[in-house]
Amino acid sequence: NAGVTQTPKFRVLKTGQSMTLLCAQDMNHEYMYWYRQDPGMGLRLIHYSVGEGTTAKGEVPDGYNVSRLKKQNFLLGLESAAPSQTSVYFCASSSGWIRETQYFGPGTRLLVL
Amino acid sequence: GQQVMQIPQYQHVQEGEDFTTYCNSSTTLSNIQWYKQRPGGHPVFLIQLVKSGEVKKQKRLTFQFGEAKKNSSLHITATQTTDVGTYFCAGRGGATNKLIFGTGTLLAVQP
C-alpha cells in the first residue's frame, strides 16, 4: 500500500496563476483533509471531507476550493494564487472522526512569486 | 475559537539530556494525539490519550493527559539524535470536535 500520496511535490507559481494539488489514498478512508504548514504556526486545516461528494471548510479556507468526486481522491485548488499562499501543503486521511489516527502524505511545497 | 498552544517553540539539548514539551488548550479536549515530524518529512502519529490523567509510555517517551483534559505533555528521557524533529500535539474539542494542531516544538539534539 502506498498510503497517502500527493502530486506535485514542488511547484512555483506566479501571482494570479491557478493550480490543483492532488491527494490520493489507498486505505479506503472516509475522511480526508488538507492542511497548510507555515513556520511557527503548526498545521492549519484548510478544508476537509467526511465522505465522497462532501466537503467542508476548516480554519483557513479563503482562497482555496476542494472537490471529492471519488472516495480515494481529494483535490485542492487555488484559483488565483497569492504570495500569502506560499506554504507546505499536507493531505491526510483517516478512517473515522473522533479517535482515529490521521495519516499524512509527503507534502507539496508551493512557492508563489 | 479553540486554540492549542505548545511550549517551548524550540529546544536544543545535548544527547543524553531529557526533554519535555507542553501542550495547552483553551477548551476541554475529548482526546489528544501526538505526532512527530522529522526535518523535511511529514507528521507521523505517535500516540493518543483519551482519559483524564492518563499516562502512556513508549520506550523513552512518556505522554500525559491532564486531569482537566486541557493540557498534555511529552517527556523524552535520555535524548538521542534520532529524536530530532518537531513534535506536535493535536486536540479534539469544542462544538465541532475538529482536530486542532498545536504550534509544535522543534527539538535539536547535539551529539
The Cα of A107 is separated from the nearest Cα of chain B by a number of Å equal to 7
What string of DSSP letters covers A39-104? Answer: TTS-EEEEEEESSTT--EE-SS-TT-EEE-SSTTEEEEEESS--GGG-EEEEEEEES-SSSPPPEE
The pLDDT tens digits of the residues spanning B40-74 come to: 999 999 999 999 999 999 999 999 999 999 999 99
The pLDDT tens digits of the residues spanning B66-82 come to: 999 999 999 999 999 99
Asked if the C-beta of A99 comes within 8 angstroms of chain B's C-beta atoms, the answer is yes
Q: What is the largest CA-CA distance in chain A?
A: 40
CB contact (8 A) between residue A98 and residue B97: yes
A-B interface: how many C-beta pairs under 8 angstroms? Answer: 50
With bands split at pLDDT 50, 70 and 90, how would you rate the model's confidence at A2? confident
CB contact (8 A) between residue B42 and residue A44: no
Of B42, B98, B99, the CB nearest to A90: B42
Residue of chain B with shortest Cα separation from A42: B103
